[in-house]
């Protein structure tokens, strides 16, 4: 995959946005596949510790991607992943404590 060998900020932002979304749906199918997606969202809204349980694997996937790109010296891509990871972390905290 030639696309993953590029070193640019836009690729990092895209990867940083997509990885947690993929992880979120993966978590849903792994832990909550017996429930409808709306029931899952309701449980997420009413059960604050569940937000932490979902945030960790979502951000972990971004950390793994970040590490891969840093170790391969693709700093611009890593910078994009890191920026989006920070945004996800802040949004998660705000959702948990303000919602």
**Average pLDDT score, the chain:** 89
d(CA 37, CA 26): 12
Is pLDDT at 14 greater than 90 in this prediction? Answer: yes
Which residues constitute the domain of residue 43?
A: 3-98
Q: Give the confidence band of 4 by pLDDT, cuts at 50, 70, 90.
A: low
Nearest to 25 by CA among 49, 1, 61: 61
Is pLDDT at 82 greater than 90 in this prediction? Answer: yes
Query: Which stretches does DSSP call E strand in 33-73?
Result: none
How many domains does the chain divide into? 1
């Amino acid at each position: 995959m030639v696309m993953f060998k590029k070193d640019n900020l836009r690729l990092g932002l895209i990867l940083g946005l997509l990885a947690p979304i993929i992880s979120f749906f993966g978590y849903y199918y792994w832990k909550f596949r017996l429930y409808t997606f709306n029931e899952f969202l309701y449980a997420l809204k009413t059960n604050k510790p569940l937000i932490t349980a979902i945030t960790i694997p979502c951000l972990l996937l971004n950390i793994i991607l970040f590490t891969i790109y840093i170790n391969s010296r693709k700093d611009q891509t890593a910078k994009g992943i890191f920026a989006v990871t920070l945004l996800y972390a802040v949004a998660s905290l705000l959702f948990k404590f303000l919602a």
